[in-house]
């Protein structure tokens, strides 16, 4: 039976100790190193060559996303990197996945689920907490907003009525309404106020 060699990265010693205690009880896992910051993680990975890194994101002496970038600059697929954090914002999730993380879990994940996720990630599977999966699905949907839909969103955000937006964009009011209905579907909202709010939160408009 192949044993998965792990490095744990977290700036809180209590968290690292807790994870080590939890994972050491499983004979399929072997914690071979730990780090308290992103730069330290890069050095430990170079020295220990683990199969997988459990990576925290926000650490005062060097964040996890920067460490993921650095590790992926060395190798696109080794070690596997599984984010384990308390942060569940779209910004954190997208930054980690875009940097090259292979999975994203929250620290509230139960022990059995965490061990299963580590094994699956080490085997090459993508592992996502439900909130991360939803965020990535939402982003995929948002990435298909057309330029015209973005223009309508921006005009609505400036306080324009349908008539004013139509005049500004040189289209009919019916066309504006059609764009809005499509936007509601893509953003998962029911009205223009919610569409604007979500668009601002997700950086679709400035």
CATH number at residue 176: 1.10.10.10
Q: Are residues 9 and 106 in the same domain?
A: yes
Q: What CATH number is associated with residue 127? A: 3.40.50.2300
Domain of 164 in residue numbering reads as 144-201
- Does the pLDDT value for residue 1 go beyond 70? no
Residue 181 binned pLDDT confidence (cut-offs 50, 70, 90): confident
Judge whether 206 lies within some domain. no
pLDDT digits (tens, 9 = 90+) for 42-57: 999 999 999 999 999 9
In a 13 Å sphere around the CA of 1, the CA atoms on its Cβ side amount to: 8
- Say yes or no: 72 and 91 in one domain: yes
Long-range residue pairs from 153-158, CB within 8 A, at least 24 positions apart, any chain: 153/183, 153/195, 153/196, 153/199, 153/204, 153/205, 154/205, 156/180, 156/192, 156/195, 156/196, 157/196, 157/199, 157/200, 157/205
Q: Do 76 and 12 fall into the same domain? A: yes
Which of 139, 165, 181 is at the close of a domain?
A: 139
Other C-beta atoms closer than 10 Å to the C-beta of 134 total: 15
DSSP E strands, 21-116: 29-35, 52-55, 80-85, 103-106
What is the rounded average pLDDT of the residues 123-132? 88
The rounded distance, in Å, linking the Cα atoms of 131 and 137 is 10
- The pLDDT value recorded for residue 151 is 92
Residue 114, both tokens:
């965490």
Give tens-digit pLDDT for 97-106.
989 999 999 9
């Amino acid at each position: 039976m192949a044993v998965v060699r792990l490095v744990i990265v977290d700036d809180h010693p209590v968290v690292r100790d807790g994870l080590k205690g939890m994972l050491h009880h499983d004979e399929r896992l072997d914690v071979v190193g730990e780090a308290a910051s992103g730069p330290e993680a890069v050095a430990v990975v170079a020295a220990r060559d683990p199969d997988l890194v459990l990576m925290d994101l926000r650490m005062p002496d060097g964040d996890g996303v920067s460490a993921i970038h650095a590790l992926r600059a060395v190798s696109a697929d080794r070690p596997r990197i599984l984010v384990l954090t308390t942060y569940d914002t779209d910004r954190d999730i997208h930054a980690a996945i875009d940097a090259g993380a292979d999975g994203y879990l929250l620290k509230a994940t139960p022990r059995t689920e965490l061990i299963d996720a580590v094994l699956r990630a080490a085997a090459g599977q993508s592992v996502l907490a439900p909130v991360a999966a939803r965020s990535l699905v939402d982003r995929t949907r948002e990435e298909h907003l057309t330029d015209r839909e973005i223009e309508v969103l921006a005009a609505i955000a400036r306080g324009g009525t349908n008539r004013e937006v139509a005049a500004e964009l040189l289209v009919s009011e019916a066309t504006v309404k059609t764009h809005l209905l499509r936007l509601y579907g893509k953003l998962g909202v029911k009205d223009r106020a919610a569409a604007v709010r979500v668009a601002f939160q997700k950086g679709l408009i400035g």
